[in-house]
Amino acid sequence: MSKVIGIDLGTTFSLAAYLEGGQPKIIPNVEGSRMTPSVVSILKDGKRLVGQLAKLQATGNPDGTVFSIKRHMGRRAYLDLDSLSDDKEIIRQIKRHMGSDYWVKIDDKEYTPEEISAMILQKIKKDTEDYLGEKIEKTVISVPAYFNISQRQATIDAGRIAGIEVLRIIDEPTSAALAYGLDMEDIHTILVWDLGGGTFDVSILELGGGVFEVKAVNGDTWLGGDDYDYRIVEHLANEFQEEYGIDLRKNKVAMIRLKEVAEKAKIDLTDKEVTRIKIPFINAGEGGPKHWETVLTREKFEELTDDLLQKMVEPTKQALTDARLKPRDIDRVILVGGSTRMPAVRHIFKDLMGKEPYVEIHPDEVVAMGASVQAGILTGQIEGKILIDVTPISLGIETQGGIFTKIIERNTTIPTSESRLFTNAADQQTSMDIHVLQGERPMAIYNMTLDRFQMTGIPPLPRGDAWVEVKFEINANGILHVSCKDLHTENSRRLRISPRFYGIPSEEIERMIMDAREYQKQDQRECEEVEISIKADNMIRAGQQMIEDVGEEGDPSLPEQETGLIDPVRKVISNGVEDVEKAMLEVRTALAGEDYDDIKSRTEELERRIKALDRVFKKTRSQRQEARI
């Protein structure tokens, strides 16, 4: 039997893990990194790049590069307007789904979020097969705990398109708890805070004795590290506009570069009180390219994002309430996701929970490792472990007067099955409209439509005399099946909630599978091309590091006495810095194309200029040391 891997399909990065000797191990990708950027780029000829290569050429191909697709999984809505009763109902439905349709249009072709995610999964699958030396056919994929049924089904569809069977969907905080408590025997209660690139989850679990029981989940699927990055991007764009009168938001390339520096600034401010932001050639308008430099303090960053922090408080309190626990009842708190490294996040967590978080786990890798543990439990590699999960959001149907009647309450242990009896609302009624929803609001209009269908063949009886049983069943993946049965005639209907309002029709999935297979063959690149791209990326990083090392000594605007260098020497260093910056831009531009000879030659030229600047810089430093002696 081939290995079953665990995959953390993340908003910003994706990872895979497998079990070796009963312990989870992260699988490096073909570039040698443990994390693969969740970025897809489609070039003009239809060729697809995924991961680091896609991220590298984003500035040269902004219209063809897709970031953070996970945020749009399962959010499409297909409205069957012919089935709606009147104009008012049509307007209500359109308002409910307004802005939820999301298709990626590149050139003349449209891609669903599932297709884009499948491209990421294909790369992970291929890299894993290369690393392990065997075919991978099955996986466990983690999703945010607060993903609804639509988003979970979309993730399964993405796996199918990628040619890999999804054995189980597992919540990310639960996955982290599996990795954390794999060898734990003592029973205790933990709370997991998971702040990833695009989502925030809080889960409360009881661990011990081989049982992992989820007590409550809550969260926000539109709160994550991306939102913190965008606050920095907006701040920088506003600053630049105030200084130069140019709105960088109208320039897609500039916005991608702002996002890159915003991510770096956010990371820097984890350990620093202030970070210096330098962006060469940020705008090529009138007067030529503009080099721009500014600073961002941690205090300012926390001021810009304070409301995002506050959004984490209420879901945490609600999860505690649902679990019938107080902060003092929690034995240990775990932080998951790279964004939880931010000092402000840790401070608000400590204020809320009254205790320090447990930090002896890798926040970026623990979810993938836990998914591989769940794979091991399912395949029998790990024995004596049981996972008891819950459904995150209530499910029910719309009843008379537009009321949302819940059939399965949130935080109900899954798999589960619940049924309720409903009667006819009018005399001689021969059909019922079964409108299936997910949410917590008392009125149906404010909740999310999953599907709707007609239960026909009901005998014409006086009001209140006809009875229909509606049954909801949720499997271990959180996927819903709905069945209806007329108790007078035994007439029944059963459906798996997916296609019409959010999912992909089966024929469309088959078309995507065929496309995926076709491009999988086309996208096989030679090792030399990968190595050239990796070296180009490394040299860009080396150039950035070299410029940072030179620092203010290459700034011709500073007074001579501040640097200790005479003007001619500073001019040489300044010219060297400019040469390196230009060469870096040329390599980035080359990476956007497919001419690997061009990428190679420009990378070699960048390397030559870095070495030249390094020689001059070391020589001047040595001369100053000798002068002091």
Q: Which residue has the higher pLDDT, 552 or 151?
A: 151
Strands 13-20 vs 36-37: parallel, antiparallel or unpaired: antiparallel
Tell me how far apart the alpha carbons of residues 496 and 481 are, in angstroms, rounded to a whole number. 4
pLDDT tens for residues 322-333?
999 999 999 988
Picking from 190-204, 279-293, 399-413, which range would have the lowest pLDDT averaged per residue?
279-293
477, 427 Cβ separation under 8 angstroms: no
Helix/strand/coil for 134: coil
Q: Does residue 307 carry a catalytic annotation?
A: no
3-state secondary structure (DSSP) of residue 419:
strand
| Catalytic residue flag (residue 172) | yes
pLDDT of residue 625: 53
Cis ω on the peptide bond leading into residue 37 (within 30° of 0)?
no
> For residue 92, is pLDDT > 50?
no
What pLDDT score was predicted for residue 603?
A: 93
Q: Cα(160)–Cα(534) distance, rounded to whole angstroms?
A: 30
Closest alpha carbon to 484 in 497, 473, 468 = 468
d(CA 157, CA 154): 5
- Would you state the pLDDT for residue 390? 83
Distance, in Å, from the CA atom of 548 to the CA atom of 565, rounded to the nearest integer, reads: 18
Tens digit of each residue's pLDDT (9 = 90 or more) over 531-556: 788 788 889 988 888 888 887 665 55
- To the query of whether residue 194 is one of the catalytic residues in this protein, the response is yes
Structure tokens at 224: 């994550």
Q: With 50 as the cut, is the pLDDT of residue 122 above it?
A: yes
Q: What is the overall mean pLDDT for the chain? A: 83
Res. 292: pLDDT tops 90 = no
Domains of the chain: 4-225+305-390 (3.30.420.40), 393-504 (2.60.34.10), 507-627 (1.20.1270.10)
Predicted pLDDT of residue 72: 85
Residue 431's SS3 state is strand
Q: Is the dihedral of CA 530, 534, 540, 543 positive or negative?
A: negative
Position 287 scores a pLDDT of 53
Name the residue with higher pLDDT: 218 or 528. 218
Tokens describing residue 384: 């004596």
CB neighbours of 540 closer than 8 A, spacing ≥ 6?
56, 584, 587, 588, 606
Q: What average pLDDT does this structure show over 485-490?
A: 85
Nearest to 219 by CA among 193, 182, 253, 249: 193
Residue 378 buriedness (CB in 10 A; 0-12 / 13-18 / 19+): middle
Asked if 145 and 172 count as a contact pair (C-beta separation under 8 A), the reply is: yes
pLDDT tier, 501 (very low <50, low <70, confident <90, very high otherwise): very low
Is residue 613's pLDDT more than 80? yes
Looking at 8, 220, 365, 581, which residue is catalytic?
8
| Catalytic residue (one of 115, 157, 171, 172) | 172
Q: Residue 182: its pLDDT value, please?
A: 65
Annotated active-site residue in 3, 55, 70, 126: 70
Q: End-to-end alpha-carbon separation of the chain, Å?
A: 70
Q: In angstroms, what CA-CA distances link 475 with 388, 472, 479?
A: 12, 10, 6
Choose among 566, 488, 450, 557: nearest CA to 78.
450
- In this predicted structure, what is the pLDDT of residue 515? 64
What pLDDT is stored for residue 489 in this prediction? 84
- Segment holding 110, helix H or strand E: strand 109-111
For 334-362, the DSSP string reads: EEESGGGGSHHHHHHHHHHHSSPPB--S-
Q: What is the pLDDT of residue 88?
A: 44
Query: What integer pLDDT is reported at residue 574 of this predicted model?
Result: 82
The predicted structure's pLDDT at residue 457: 85
Say which range, 138-142, 354-358, 387-391, has the weakest mean pLDDT: 387-391
Catalytic residue among 127, 157, 194, 365: 194
Spatial CA neighbour of 386 closest among 193, 214, 138, 218:
214
**Taking 80 as the threshold, does the pLDDT of residue 423 lie above it?**
yes
Task: Please state, in angstroms and rounded to a whole number, the distance separating the CA atoms of residues 435 and 114.
Answer: 25
Reported as half-sphere exposure (CB side, CA atoms, 13 A), residue 446 has a value of: 7
At 560-606, the pLDDT tens digits run 444 455 556 667 888 888 899 899 989 988 888 778 889 999 999 99
How large is the average pLDDT for residues 521-525? 55
pLDDT band at 96 (very low <50, low <70, confident <90, very high): very low
Residue 318 near residue 623 (C-beta atoms within 8 A) = no
The pLDDT of residue 388 is 78
Degrees to nearest 5, angle at CA 43 with 40 and 46? 100
Per-residue pLDDT band for 521 (boundaries 50, 70, 90) equals low
Find the mean pLDDT for residues 14-43: 93
Burial tier of 25 (Cβ tally within 10 Å: 0-12, 13-18, 19+): middle
- In tens, the pLDDT along 177-196 reads 888 876 666 778 999 999 98
112: Cβ contacts below 8 Å, ≥ 6 apart = 76, 103, 104, 504, 512
pLDDT in tens, 342-385: 999 999 999 999 988 887 888 999 999 999 999 998 888 888 77
Query: Residue 234 has what pLDDT?
Result: 95
Question: Buried b vs exposed e over 35-66: b needs ≥16 C-beta within 10 Å?
Answer: bbbbbbbbbeeeebbbbbbbbbbbbbbbebbb
- According to DSSP, the residues that pair with 26 across neighbouring strands are 17
Q: How many helices (H) and strands (E) does the chain have?
A: 17, 27
pTM of the model: 0.74
Considering only 5-9, 97-101, 229-233, which range has the smallest mean pLDDT? 97-101
Residue 220 clears pLDDT 90, i.e. is over it: no
The residue that leads in pLDDT, 207 or 301, is 301
- Residue 86 clears pLDDT 70, i.e. is over it: no
Q: What CA–CA distance (Å, rounded) separates 472 from 419?
A: 6
- pLDDT for 383 equals 80
